[in-house]
């Protein structure tokens, strides 16, 4: 009983935190459209992918928490698994020029190659407008949009907020759970969580 109360208190706390942060995106409502250029010079709009599931992943290659998920193979594996199922995976970098995680387009492409990653595209948000639009606070910070363009998940990648690679094996992956449920026509049981990681370097 005590454990259940703790969980309920944690859920309420997360909801209060997210509500008080002034987040501009709300689960169950349309995800705001945006247009960004990728690391190959191509433009992508969220609305281009209506009819498909879309994952938005805020990332910073130099953040220890991001390194945990890429060096362990966790993020590349997720990307590959779901892009092969038709999911669009957009990795967004909102680091301002000169700040941690700000790479050249060629640098991002090399990162993808080195890590064996499988995003649909690496999107460059150097002025931070899209990051602020979504109130992206950490790297990683994850969002899932359904084929109707409705936001169905936002928050952490999993339930173990550490930078330790070993923790990947025992963590519950919220993004995987959300995608699996929604793709099977089921409700997302944990639709909002508190993201963890490095602060986005706006």
**What is the per-residue pLDDT across 136-183, written as a single tens digit (0 to 9) for each?**
999 999 999 999 999 999 999 999 999 999 999 999 999 999 999 999
pLDDT at 43: 98
Parse the chain into domains and list their residue ranges.
Answer: 25-199
What is the rounded distance in angstroms from the CA atom of residue 202 to the CA atom of residue 198?
Answer: 12
pLDDT at 4: 43
pLDDT at 53: 98
pLDDT at 14: 37
In order along the chain (202 residues), what is the average pLDDT of each group of 10 residues?
40 36 78 98 98 98 98 98 98 98 98 98 98 98 98 98 96 98 97 98 98
In this structure, what DSSP letter does residue 91 have?
E
Class of domain 25-199: alpha beta
Three-state secondary-structure class, residue 41: coil
Does this model's pTM top 0.85? My answer is yes
Nearest to 127 by CA among 90, 94, 91: 94
pLDDT at 5: 39
First to last CA, the chain: 42
């Amino acid at each position: 009983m005590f454990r259940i109360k703790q969980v309920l208190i944690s859920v309420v706390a997360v909801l209060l935190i997210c509500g008080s942060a002034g987040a501009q995106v709300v689960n169950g409502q349309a995800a705001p459209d945006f247009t960004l250029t990728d690391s190959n010079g191509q433009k992508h709009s969220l609305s281009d992918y209506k009819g498909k599931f879309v994952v938005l992943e805020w990332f910073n290659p130099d953040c220890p928490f991001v390194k945990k998920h890429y060096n362990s193979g966790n993020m590349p594996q997720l990307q590959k698994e779901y892009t092969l199922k038709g999911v669009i995976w957009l990795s967004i970098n909102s680091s301002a020029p000169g700040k941690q995680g700000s790479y050249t387009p060629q640098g991002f492409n090399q990162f993808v190659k080195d890590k064996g990653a499988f995003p649909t595209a690496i999107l460059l948000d150097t002025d931070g407008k899209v990051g602020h639009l979504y109130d992206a606070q950490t790297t990683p910070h994850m969002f899932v949009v359904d084929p109707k363009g409705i936001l169905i998940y936002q928050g952490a990648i999993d339930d173990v907020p550490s930078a330790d690679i070993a923790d990947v094996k025992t963590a519950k992956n919220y993004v995987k759970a959300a995608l699996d449920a929604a793709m099977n026509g089921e409700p997302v049981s944990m639709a909002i969580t508190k993201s963890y990681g490095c602060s986005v370097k706006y």
